């Protein structure tokens, strides 16, 4: 494999890692929007009586784990993890 091919592969690897991060961030925010919409439409009691919040919590934790597998910049991961997990408290 030539030097140029290796550089292209490294570029693509970094780009895919960035896309995974962006998609993970979008997915976690969409879950928050869904919860907020349900609370507005049905009231807070509906949300606290459903299993959605605990399921979303588990999905968010899994998304963070997937992002950690591909994003190697600790500050970026910590920032997103803090943002996502603070919504779960």
pLDDT single digits (tens) 54-87: 888 888 888 888 888 887 777 777 888 887 777 6
Domain of residue 7 covers: 3-87
The pLDDT of residue 4: 94
User: What's the rounded mean pLDDT across residues 34-54?
Assistant: 85
The pLDDT of residue 89: 58
**Separation CA 23–CA 16 (nearest Å):** 10
Structure tokens at 18: 């960035």
Question: How many domains are contained in the chain?
Answer: 1
User: What's the rounded mean pLDDT across residues 40-64?
Assistant: 85
**Bigger pLDDT: 44 vs 40:** 40
Contacts of 64 (CB under 8 A, 6+ apart): 24, 28, 77, 80, 81, 84, 85
């Amino acid at each position: 494999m030539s030097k140029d091919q290796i550089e292209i592969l490294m570029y693509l690897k970094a780009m895919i890692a960035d896309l995974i991060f962006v998609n993970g961030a979008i997915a976690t925010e969409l879950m928050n929007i869904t919860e907020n919409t349900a609370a507005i439409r049905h009231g807070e009691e509906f949300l606290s009586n459903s299993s959605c919040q605990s399921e979303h919590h588990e999905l968010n934790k899994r998304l963070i784990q997937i992002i950690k597998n591909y994003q190697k910049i600790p500050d970026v991961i910590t920032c997103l993890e803090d943002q996502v997990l603070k919504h779960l408290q």
